[in-house]
Amino acid sequence: MKTIKIERFFRKLNDSIPKAETELCYRNTFELLIAVILSAQATDISVNKVTPELFAAFPTPEEMHEAGSEKVLSYIRSIGLAPTKSKNIVRTCAQLVENHAAQVPQNREQLEALAGVGRKTANVILNTAFGHPVIAVDTHIFRISNRTGLAPGNTVLQVEENLMKAVPEKWKKDAHHLLILHGRYVCKSRKPDCEHCVIVQECEHPDKTVP
């Protein structure tokens, strides 16, 4: 996709999504980290159903670590992969307390060293909590990048690298949320809503439906 088209692509997305931010509910960086860990292979809606009680019971890394994985599990059973996530969360809390004075680190390497935190989760934290111009690639962003021709790639890492090359600097900070929200509500997996898509003219998919 040519640079001038990409600029229009993001300008139109930005105009159509004036509040481009995560739909996860959180009050601080620690809560965001736990919510993002829980959101792997789960919807934001399902995560938001369990986190208010979880965070009310254990509002700090120290308290969540002391509670233990079984207690944490009792609050998140409805979430996919809950047993594994509860263990990772408790280990992450221990790491935060022992290595980072109970604070969420702002360094990618330190974030990825936390239990249950991979590159995507680290990118979400760096972008959403700390304002870094990085792009976390989830299933929505992977699909849109390939479907529209914005930044095609065979792997998540390829798409991320291509997005970082293609997206203009002025849009990099908001690109993650603009793309994910557009994919969640318009450019859906099984039935993309081309009729109501603001970037249909920029989209390079051969089967798009132009109103």
Q: Which residues are catalytic?
A: 120, 138
Whether the Cβ atoms of residue 22 and residue 51 lie closer than 8 Å to each other: no
Distance between CA 99 and CA 110 in Å, rounded? Answer: 9
**Contact in structure between 166 and 202 (CB atoms under 8 Å):** no
- Contacts for 180-186 with beta carbons within 8 Å, 24 or more apart? 180/138, 180/140, 180/141, 181/17, 181/20, 181/23, 182/13, 182/16, 182/17, 182/140, 182/144, 183/139, 183/140, 183/141, 183/143, 183/144, 184/140
